[in-house]
Chains A and B, each alone.
Chain A
Amino acid sequence: MSDTPARWTIIEPPSRWPKFALGELWAQRELVYFLTWRDVKVRYKQTLLGVAWAIIQPLATMLVFSLFFGRLAKVPSQGVPYPLFALAALVPWTFFANGLTQSASSVVLSQNLVTKVYFPRLAIPLATVLAGALDFVLAFLLLLVFLIAYRVAPTASWIGIVPFFVLAFAATLGVGLWLAALNVLYRDVRYAVPFLAQLWLFATPIAYPSTLLGEPWRTIYALNPMVAVVDGFRWALLGTPVPSSASVVASCVVAVVLLVSGSLFFRRTEQSFADIV
């Protein structure tokens, strides 16, 4: 094209330490957009209930948790009605769990693309997680309905969910990148992921409050980045005690480490995706 300056493409053997190539990803942001849009469209076209799934999942889990943990086991809920307590955690959790599961299989499912055309491969898991963000927005609307129903007045602290959502996004993408690349190398990952998501659910304060743990365990526990996310959402929306800065820092550091190492691992493996997939 006359308006895109001619440039040199260099083709070389892969280096041991790949670059992030964020510039390239940025240049291809439209592709990321179209892939995201495809994921969303296809999901809503192929399924009978379409959009409703984004809501059904956290809603049904919340009902089950409220019945068994709230009513029967009488798990404490920091003075908040248990359904709200559970749902405020389940909304970001569902985003995390689905994002992780779907990005794990994203590259393998895109093998027809990967073996036929070049583009920054990071776009695939990134688009998958972004498509999940739309589900998150829908699930959040459900949460809003419950907040209104329980007459929780909106406060300025509600805006606090934004940084915690960013944290959840970073953690999801970080783990997703690791799993997506590993899944290309070893198809075991496909079987391990649902199991991993299940274990992770119990290691996150969703059915119970993190206050059940005492220090220093609570900070160690916060090495699971979803701990700070869930505590943060509850704090911002429901006014539960603010999560300790130590636990927030621990969660953030782990999320960043996951994201950076995940990107590097992904970039390093992607060179051979087309040969293996």
Chain B
Amino acid sequence: MTPAIRAMGLGKRYELGRTLRRDRTLRESVVESVGELMRTIRRGGAQTDDRELWALRDASFEIAEGEAVGLIGANGAGKSTLLKLLSRVTTPTTGRAEIHGRVGSLLEVGTGFHPDLTGRENVFLNGAILGMRGWEIERKFDEIVAFAEVERFLDTPVKRYSSGMYLRLAFAVAAHLEPEVLLVDEVLAVGDAAFQRKCLGKMGDVAASGRTVVFVSHNMDAVMRLCTRALLLEDGRVAESGPSAVVVAGYLARGGTGAPPAQWIELADAPRRGSGEARFARVRYEIPDEPGRVPRPGGPVRFDIDIESPVAQTVASVAVVLRSQTGVMLLVADIIERGVPMTLAPGRNAIRFDIGALNLTSGTYGVTLWMSHAIGKPIDEVTAFDVEVLDDASRGLGASAGSMVHCPFTVSFPSGSDRAL
């Protein structure tokens, strides 16, 4: 089978402080050049290296036609740069890539939408910008409008739209682009839960219809659901490539979007507040018997915590708190609930929390550690790390987008029973 995308040694170098700067004026540029020249002379003509950044280095890979590939990696690993190169927004410094077929790129929802133009006008403008032909837009116009559910507001300027309507319309145009190769960057991070599901569904359709999809995301759950294969980028290099379940699991085991499991996380520099009578020193989380895996929805998780105390004392409350990305407190495991105060000896003290069922859906959650007396201000409260919860056996599209509480259930269709319809 012919590859849809073939990249050979793709690299992109940014010159820090120079081209990356916005709003450069001629005067600054002259001053900089002179400064650079002086430095070069002083150093005896040596080439500067510290002012360069390789956002992507020597990336070689092939993506077969009809494959859905997820690009994963930490922030700054080069995912977006790679996508920008493939979509030709920017040019590579080295290497070469070939793409077979019509390319549609979606680096942002609503690119080129103009607030003063009406919904109808923006559909045409945005369609043209994304590379659709006029007749194509006309043919799909009704479908786009129906998908976006904005029929009544077609002749209203989009600046009067709610942000939800705006996003729906923007995604609807992009979703009807029908390219042979679709490049998507994290557009699902926006919009309400219902909309995200709609987007995921549409992307699933695109992938299922035999088109090639390259999908950059921090949402491991979405990558697992949508993509057959994943490329892991690290420091601008392709670190791993393979079936998405394997690559995602490997990535998460090394930290991924959160902190790595089964490894001590030092808390000396973590953001904290409190009286400091005692301090959390380090923390580790893991699935008992399965170190190296991240917790699953409804599965067990263990937290091991070391507390540093200068004197012997007793604290009434020590807790592990899990919060959503927006800061909503979701779970609290607190010893005060059990009525067992913790006696601290001078030096290090260990405490272990075993949570039997972590009833959270797939996603990233913030872990906070809390310690206090029965009443009064906290002794120590640390924003410790992020943990990724992932259902590695997920099938179907899942209801997880937006929901956070894991709900185990079974479903059956009892035959012969008097189901009221």
> Which A residue sits closest to B87, measured CB to CB?
A118
A274 neighbours in B (Cβ, 8 Å)? 84, 89-90
Distance to closest chain B CB from A269 (angstroms): 11
Q: Roughly how many angstroms separate A114 CA and B111 CA in the complex, as a whole number? A: 10
A271 touches B91 (CB 8 A): yes
A187 touches B23 (CB 8 A): yes
A117 touches B129 (CB 8 A): yes
B103 touches A9 (CB 8 A): yes
Q: Does A215 contact B (CB under 8 A)?
A: no
A42 neighbours in B (Cβ, 8 Å)? 114, 116-117
Q: Roughly how many angstroms separate A109 CA and B105 CA in the complex, as a whole number? A: 21
Asked if A186 meets B98 with Cβ closer than 8 Å, knowing A34-B129, A112-B112, the reply is: no
Q: Does B352 contact A (CB under 8 A)?
A: no
Q: Does B131 contact A (CB under 8 A)?
A: yes
Q: Does B124 contact A (CB under 8 A)?
A: yes
Q: Does B29 contact A (CB under 8 A)?
A: yes
Complex interface bits, A108-131 against B, C-beta within 8 A gives 1, otherwise 0 = 000011111111000000000000
Interface centre among B27, B111, B128, B178 (most CB of A within 10 A): B128
A11 touches B85 (CB 8 A): yes
A34 touches B101 (CB 8 A): no
A38 neighbours in B (Cβ, 8 Å)? 114, 117, 121, 125
Interface centre among A14, A116, A187 (most CB of B within 10 A): A116
Which listed residue (A14, A117, A271) contacts B105, Cβ 8 A?
A117
Q: Roughly how many angstroms separate A106 CA and B15 CA in the complex, as a whole number? A: 25
> Which A residue sits closest to B103, measured CB to CB?
A9
B24 touches A187 (CB 8 A): yes
Distance to closest chain B CB from A4 (angstroms): 6
Q: Roughly how many angstroms separate A12 CA and B99 CA in the complex, as a whole number? A: 12
> Which A residue sits closest to B97, measured CB to CB?
A11
B102 neighbours in A (Cβ, 8 Å)? 1, 4, 6-7
Q: Roughly how many angstroms separate A246 CA and B179 CA in the complex, as a whole number? A: 53
A272 neighbours in B (Cβ, 8 Å)? 19, 90-91
Q: Does B173 contact A (CB under 8 A)?
A: no
Q: Does A10 contact B (CB under 8 A)?
A: yes
B108 touches A116 (CB 8 A): yes
B19 touches A275 (CB 8 A): yes
Complex interface bits, B76-104 against A, C-beta within 8 A gives 1, otherwise 0 = 00000000111111111111111111110
Which listed residue (B85, B91, B112) contacts A113, Cβ 8 A?
B112
B87 touches A8 (CB 8 A): no
Q: Does B67 contact A (CB under 8 A)?
A: no
Asked if A46 meets B129 with Cβ closer than 8 Å, knowing A8-B100, A9-B98, the reply is: no
Distance to closest chain B CB from A105 (angstroms): 13
Q: Does A75 contact B (CB under 8 A)?
A: no
Which listed residue (B25, B92, B117) contacts A12, Cβ 8 A?
B92
Q: Does A31 contact B (CB under 8 A)?
A: yes
A6 neighbours in B (Cβ, 8 Å)? 100-102, 180
Asked if A116 meets B89 with Cβ closer than 8 Å, knowing A31-B128, A185-B24, the reply is: yes
Distance to closest chain B CB from A224 (angstroms): 24
B residues apposed to A, CB below 8 Å: 10, 14, 19-20, 22-27, 29, 84-103, 105, 107-108, 111-112, 114, 116-117, 121, 124-125, 128-131, 133-134, 136, 157, 178, 180
Provide 27 A-B residue pairs closer than 8 Å at the C-beta atoms, listed in order of the A residue. Answer: A4-B102, A6-B101, A7-B102, A8-B99, A9-B99, A10-B97, A12-B96, A13-B91, A14-B91, A34-B124, A34-B129, A38-B121, A45-B157, A46-B116, A113-B111, A115-B89, A116-B89, A116-B111, A117-B107, A117-B112, A119-B131, A185-B24, A186-B25, A186-B29, A187-B25, A276-B24, A277-B22
